[in-house]
Structures are given as C-alpha cells and as structure tokens.
Amino acid sequence: MNQVTIDGIKLSLARPVELNLQWVGQDELLLQLLAAWMVINERDIPFNPRLVGKPGVGKTTLAYAAAKRLNRPVYLFQATMDTRPEDLIVTPVIGPDAKIQYAASSLVSAMLTGGILILDEGNRMSEKAWASLAPLLDDRRYVESIVTGLRIPATRDFRIVVTMNEDSSTFEVPEYIHSRLQPQIYIDFPEADEELTILAENLPFADNEILKYVVKFLQRAHKKDELYSVRDGINIARYALKMSAASGAPPSDMLRLSVARILGNEALPYLD
C-alpha cells in the first residue's frame, strides 16, 4: 500500500477505483462537468460541482466518465447518514505490529495524488461531516485531521464532484456548503433514443425488440414522474432474458413477470 509522510506522520493511501461504467449520450452534461473542473489561469481554481437528479439517472457514471476523460486516478467515497469527519479524512487503525497506523480516506488520497474524488450521495451526510470539508471547498483547499493534528493541502490537480439524489431520505445541506458546491448540474431521465442506446450498451446480448419494449415502459413511467430509472430498465430486461433462458419462453413473455419482480405490481400499468 502506498504511503506518504506529512510532518513526520505516515499516512497509508487508499487505492483508486476501476469501475465498469460507460456514459452514453448527453455529451453536453459531460462538457459542463469538464468545464467546471478547468483552470484557465494560474490564479484560477476549479469549481466543486454537484450533480443532482433522481436515483439511477447516471450521476456517478457521468462523474466517472469525466474523470477518466482527464486520465486521472478516480477515488470514490460513499456518504452515509453516519459518516463522521474522521471517516472523510484520516482514520487510526491497528497495524500488524499492534501499533496505531493512520489510513487516509479516499478523499485525502485523491487530494495527495492529484486524483478525482466522487463524493457519492453527499446529501446523506450530516452538517458536522460537511463542516470538516468547508476549507477544502473554497480557495484554502485543505482539510484538518483532528486525529493526527495535520493540516493536509490538496495538490493543484485535485478535483472533487458531489452527487446528490432528489429524494426525501437526506439531510439539508448547509447553505455555506451549497455555496461552495457550484455549479449545480441537473441530470434528468434520458430521451427514448438515449435510453435505448444505454440499454444496448449494457446488454449487448439482448435482442433489440426486448430493449424497445423496456424503453416504452420507462418512457410511460417518466411521463407520470415515476422514479423508475435506466438502471431499473437494465435489470428488467436482464431478468426477463434469464427467465426466458430458464423456461424456454420468449423474452417478451417474461416481461410482465420481470417488471413485477423488479419493481412490484404497481409498475405493471406502464407495461400495458
């Protein structure tokens, strides 16, 4: 495991992630995110954009695609309701020799290596957790570790993006943090042709006809403001294909069962 030493204290770094994610369509959103990360002058600093949208619309996929476009190491931190400041920065652990060692979070690892941090579902965190990131998200660009007493600066190449779901099981993000998470890039459900392309990209072994059925289902649901996403569509098509292989019935005959098992009977009217 890689280590760095700051003021005599060794920090073990987290590893970057490699995800099997492909961003399809909506190139304008990719351009907006990349522009937010640009530095156009030596006195300029990058934005800390937030990606907002319903669950399953591809916020994490977009962030990952933009990071890979820059050919940078990508780190992921999954925020939860019980995320603590030390979880975000440095955590003490017991090493093999029974001595305390210090593990840098994926956030701090990205800061020190010039990587890109995806802070996923950031509005699940409490204000106390957000407060520990306030100096990182303005022109100071550092965090302070209470555990080690270190002030840890971000390299100039470090970038961060925060994803936020539009649902009710979240905290209110403090206004002083909102003002630091700019610009806001909103991701909506894709158009029908984009959804078909995404399904085909994820299910290259599926017949185009079954994918068209699923897209029609999703588009009907979108018009009624249901939260069914492309991710749900992929799962519906995949399960229908598996049931078809198991039973010998055509995949189209398995769609109704698949929708019911994946999303529940309340989703069935959008299939008819």
Low-confidence ranges of the chain (pLDDT < 70): 1, 167-170
Q: Tens of pLDDT along 209-226?
A: 999 999 999 999 999 989
pLDDT > 90: percent of the chain: 80
Q: What's the pLDDT score for residue 168?
A: 57
> Model-level pTM?
0.88
Q: What's the pLDDT score for residue 1?
A: 55
Q: Tens of pLDDT along 137-189?
A: 999 999 999 999 999 999 999 999 999 988 655 678 889 999 999 999 999 98
- What is the 3-class SS of the chain, one letter each residue? CCEEEECCEEEECCCCCCCCCCCCCCHHHHHHHHHHHCCCCCCCCCCCCEEEECCCCCHHHHHHHHHHHCCCCEEEEECCCCCCHHHHCEEEEECCCCCEEEEECHHHHHHHHCCEEEEECHHHCCHHHHHCCCCCCCCCCEEECCCCCCEEECCCCCEEEEEEECCCCCCCCCHHHHCCCCCEEECCCCCHHHHHHHHHHHCCCCCHHHHHHHHHHHHHHHHCCCCCCHHHHHHHHHHHHHHHHHHCCCHHHHHHHHHHHHHCHHHHHHCC
